[in-house]
Amino acid sequence: MAEKEYIEREALIEKISKLEVDGAFTESFKNVTLKTISEEPAADVHQVVRCGQCKSYKLRGGGYWCVLHMVRIHNDDYCSYGQKRSEQE
């Protein structure tokens, strides 16, 4: 199964709202499109912090470890506890 993609509804509505109406793209079609997008239920998604960006991601003993969970990890792994490290860390 292909990985799902998610969009920001408000950004899409703004983009469609700015489109110019012409022969094939009527004002009525534009309004129906905007209404359909507005009524679509939102997906339950959250931004994640990948382990490579997390402040618990440390090089220890020849590999990268999560010092919070004490397990070896890859930089593209993630968990619900991820906290993005600051530029100084």
Domain boundaries, the chain: 9-39, 46-89
83: Cβ contacts below 8 Å, ≥ 6 apart: 49, 54, 55, 56
Average pLDDT, stretch 9-26? 90
pTM across the whole model: 0.53
Binning pLDDT at 50, 70 and 90, where does residue 51 land?
Answer: very high
Numbers of helices and strands, H then E, in the chain:
2, 3
With cut-offs at 50, 70 and 90, classify the pLDDT of residue 1.
low
Q: Which helix (H) or strand (E) holds 32?
A: helix 27-39
Q: Is the pLDDT of residue 48 over 80?
A: yes
Inter-CA distances, 55 with 36, 48, 79, 88, Å: 41, 13, 12, 11
What's residue 23's pLDDT? 82
